[in-house]
Amino acid sequence: MRLSKLAALAGLPLTANAQKAETAEVRRVCAANRISELLSEAAPTTLLVTALANRHLAHVAELTESPAICLAGGVAPDAALLEAAGARGLVLLTSPEDPARTADRLYRALQSEGGT
Amino acid sequence: MDTCACHITGGNFDSAGEASSLLKEALKRIGVEPELIRRAVIAAYEAEMNVVIHARRGRLEARIAPDRVEVEVDDEGPGIPDIPRAMTEGYSTAPPEARALGFGAGMGLPNIRRCADELSLESSVGKGTRLRFTVLLRGGQEHGESAVGLEFLRERCTDCRLCLRACPTSALRVRRGWPLVLEHLCINCTECIRGCPAGAISLRHSPGAAAGAQAGSIVGAQHAAPLPETTLVLPKALAARIAESPARAVALLRARGYRRVLWLDAWRDAVRREALRFSPTRPMILPTCPAVVALIESRYAALIPHLAPVASPIESMAAQLAGEPLEVVVSCPAEAAALVARGVSVMSPKTFLSRFGEGAGHALPPQTDSAPEFQIPRVTGIADVIRTLESIEDGHMGDVPALELFACPGGCAASPLLRSTGAGEAGTAGSEIADRPAPPPPDDSPGTIAVASPLRAPRAPRPGIRLDKEMAEAIRKLGRIDELTRALPGTDCGLCGAPTCRAMAEDVVLGRAVRRDCPYFHDDSKEESR
């Protein structure tokens, strides 16, 4: 599913590189608050959901080619993450709910087109 | 061999990750496949962060060879007093500031272990730690074969592990819910594709160019048109899926830009004809199916003299048409691997049907490659093929002049790639095929007269299943595998990610896994010994 469509279905705002969401494809959602867990689950079509909000997330996305990160729990990206996301074309979304509820919301939206 | 190195400063979280990014760029530049890059850089990143979190300074050096990337990370730090404990998932000594950033999950070293094919860790308390790991880039190169032609679609995998059970050579493992293939064991049959209910395994595709195919690549659906003067070779059974007759299919494909359209079936007949001229050890086994040839070379080396000394149909075709622009629609990953190794562009049936449309024609029944005129007994399906090979190995079947063995049940025309019609290569179109009306009589292939080619080199055993190059060491490892197999529960449950307890024992002895991967194994005194 196109990330822009997924974000709209889940009601989550795009906060960085929104234009990239028109072409990014998401088939899977992974929620975790540990870098190692995100690393081991991320893939090129995985949307990462986390309550972290630092520049190391951008490294995770870069290394695993994940197209986007949803910052859950109402956290705001720090300046370093915004800069890194901009440099790497990483899409950022935000959610006021915690990672588990956010993942559930995204999962339900994805299910409408057969994602996991 | 290319080398990239980077100094790492302990405690400097701002620049952390740079060494891994450099390694990723280097691997991308030389065309390493994405999943292998992913494994290498995840392991490198975890190792790099360990230095940042725990040490004063360190250095990461990666040596990139055609078949492997070796990474060595040395640090000056406190050292690791208890390595087995440090390898335990969830155990961490990371300080609070690292945990606040999301590190310190106690998964760093276990992640490295999962991503690496080889791992060693030496540490001296108060001095520092040296971690070395290797990710194999092309496991098949060692014996002159191409890498496997399979792709695992992570987003479709449900971690059901049925693929573990399906693989006849125990070449699959599951690591953290993700299937991995031990390339030196894989024979490129289609059993895992057939056995995956989620359609998560398919023919591997490479990123394509805008038009035409790069030599040796697998043509993606995004390729708009063939290069000028390109010849297309495809199974006749597939042509019948795009038009009501093969002749109409040829006309359609030529109108879409192909100079010639040839049937792969012609080379199958040519190889049969040529093979029957020989009279090697009875029964002679025809090399029609490249997966069966790979199986014999890897598991039944004593039967290599039974193989007719001619190239397989796919190799014969590639040899005969060498030098001209060529695209080939393959029936299976084994054909794809053989062609990509020769620099021939390959197209999956799914791509072919998406480019030229499906539905106008009729599916041919699975027995279309039976070649009754040759009157060669056939055995199809990998389980029956293995039983047959074991029977021959036991000295039976000497009264049978020749045999044709196919890994796919029903032969090449019943390959799951050819039967796919849906989103994945592993579609379930069997009933659809059975329901369709019988096809009209096919026309003969126009153009080139197919010729079987001689072998480029004598067939030889593949060393893939050897435990060690040195016989004495191999015997020692075999003893350790037997010992460990007895210590494991023997349930073959697959929870460790290996298909059987014996495969798990072999993985431990060869450094691909640790005993703790088995959830039922309890022997702390011997933990992590390899």
Pairing of the two strands B68-76 and B57-65 = antiparallel
| pLDDT reported for residue B90 | 85
Higher pLDDT: B60 or B3? It is B60
Model pLDDT for residues A65-94, shown as the tens digit of each residue: 899 999 999 999 989 999 999 988 899 999
Q: Which is it for strands B178-181 and B172-175: parallel, antiparallel or unpaired? A: antiparallel
The DSSP symbol for B457 reads S
Searching chain A, which residue's CA lies closest to the CA of residue B20? A63
Strand B2-9: give its sheet, edge to edge.
Answer: B2-9, B57-65, B68-76, B128-136, B118-124
- Burial of B454 by CB count in 10 Å (0-12 exposed, 13-18 middle, 19+ buried)? exposed
Give chain B's domains with CATH numbers.
Answer: 2-137 (3.30.565.10), 140-203 (3.30.70.20), 218-458 (no CATH), 466-526 (1.10.15.40)
Average pLDDT over residues B29-49: 87
User: What phi, psi does B153 have (nearest 5°)?
Assistant: -95, 100
Q: Rounded distance, CA B338 to CA B312, Å?
A: 10
Nearest-10 Cα torsion for B229, B234, B236, B241: -90
| Spatial distance between the Cα atoms of B296 and B304, rounded to a whole number of angstroms | 6
> Looking at the complex, does the CB of residue A108 fall below 8 Å from at least one CB of chain B?
no
Tokens of B156: 């479709």
pLDDT bracket for residue B14 (50, 70, 90): confident
Kindly state whether A52 is in contact with chain B, defined as any CB-CB distance less than 8 angstroms: yes
Mean pLDDT over each residue of chain B, to the nearest integer = 79
Assign A99 a pLDDT band (cuts: 50, 70, 90).
very high
The dihedral over CA atoms of B423, B427, B431, B437, expressed in degrees to the nearest 10, equals 60
Q: Do B103 and A52 touch (CB under 8 A)?
A: no
> What ipTM does this complex have?
0.92
- Chain B CB contacts of A55 under 8 Å are 14
Return the minimum-mean-pLDDT range out of B253-267, B399-413, B431-445, B504-518. B431-445
pLDDT value of residue B238: 83
Written as six digits, the tokens of B100 are: 């606040």
B71 beta partners: B62, B133
Tell me the CB-side half-sphere exposure of residue A107, using CA atoms within 13 A.
11
Describe the crossing of helices B333-341 and B290-299 by its angle, rounded to 10 degrees.
80
Compute the average pLDDT of residues B5-29: 87
Cβ of A15 under 8 Å from any chain B Cβ? Answer: no
Q: Look at strands B68-76 and B128-136 and give their pairing.
A: antiparallel
- DSSP conformational letter for A33: S
Residue B22 has pLDDT above 50, yes or no: yes
Is residue A45 within 8 Å of A28, Cβ to Cβ? yes
Q: Count CA atoms closer than 13 A to B94's CA, side-chain side.
A: 26
Strand A28-31 and strand A14-16: the pairing is unpaired
For residue B408, pLDDT beyond 60: yes
The dihedral sign for the CA sequence A43, A45, A51, A57: positive
- Alpha carbons A16 and A93: distance in angstroms, whole number: 7
Instruction: Say whether A36 and B17 touch across the interface (CB within 8 A).
Output: no
Q: What is the structure's pLDDT at B464?
A: 65
Inter-chain CB pairs, A–B, below 8 Å: 81
Highest mean pLDDT among A101-115, B148-162, B189-203, B216-230 belongs to B189-203
Cβ-defined contact of A63 to B108 (cutoff 8 Å): no
For B93-143, the pLDDT digits (tens) are: 899 999 999 998 888 998 898 888 778 888 899 999 999 998 887 543 333
CATH architecture for the domain at A3-111: 3-Layer(aba) Sandwich (3.40)
B253 three-class SS: helix
Distance CA(B397)–CA(B392), nearest Å, equals 6
Q: Chain B partners of A27 at a C-beta cutoff of 8 Å?
A: 155-156
B129 vs B179: which has the higher pLDDT: B129
Higher-pLDDT residue of B15, B103? B103
CA distance A107 to A113: 10
pLDDT of residue B52 exceeding 80: yes
Percent of chain B surpassing pLDDT 70: 81
Given this model, what pLDDT does residue B373 score? Answer: 64
- Measured between CA atoms, the residue of chain B closest to residue A114 is B156
Residue A5 has pLDDT above 90, yes or no: yes
Over 60: is that where the pLDDT of A98 sits? Answer: yes
Residue A114: the pLDDT is: 53
Q: For residue B495, which of B512, B511, B516 has the smallest C-alpha distance? A: B516
**Spatial CA neighbour of B35 closest among B242, B178, B200:** B178
Cβ-proximal residues to B131 (8 Å cutoff; 6+ apart), any chain: B47, B50, B72, B73, B112, B119, B120, B121, B122
Portion of chain A with pLDDT greater than 90, in percent: 66
* CB contact (8 A) between residue A62 and residue B21: yes
Q: Is 90 exceeded by the pLDDT of residue B313?
A: yes
pLDDT over 90 for what percent of chain B? 24
User: Best interface-test mutation with B: which of A36, A38, A60, A65 has the largest number of B CBs within 10 A?
Assistant: A36
B interface with A, Cβ–Cβ below 8 Å: 13-14, 16-17, 20-21, 24, 34, 38, 41-42, 45-46, 49, 101-105, 107-108, 111, 114, 154-156, 158, 176-177
pLDDT digits (tens, 9 = 90+) for B475-496: 888 889 989 999 999 899 999 9
The reported pLDDT for the residue numbered B383 is 92
Q: Pick from A25, A26, A30, A40 the residue to mutate for testing the B interface (most B CBs within 10 Å).
A: A40
Q: Is residue B212's pLDDT more than 50?
A: no
Chain A residues whose CB is inside 8 A of the B222 CB are: none
In chain A, where the domains are located: 3-111
Q: Which of B17, B46, B158 sits opposite A56 (nearest CB)?
A: B17
- How far apart CA B61 and CA B72 sit, in angstroms, is 5
pLDDT surpassing 60 at residue B432: no
Residue of chain B nearest A78, judged by CA positions = B101
Which pLDDT score is estimated for B132? 92
Pick the residue from chain A with its C-alpha nearest to B47.
Answer: A36
Convert B40-81 into a string of H (helix), E (strand) and C (coil): HHHHHHHHHHHHHHHCCEEEEEEEEECCEEEEEEEEECCCCC
B172 contacts: CB under 8 Å, gap ≥ 6:
B163, B164, B166, B179, B180, B181, B182, B192, B499
**pLDDT tens-digit readout, B246-290:** 888 888 888 888 888 999 989 998 998 888 887 767 899 999 999
CB contact under 8 A, A41 and B21: no
pLDDT at B368: 46
- The type of residue at B518 is C
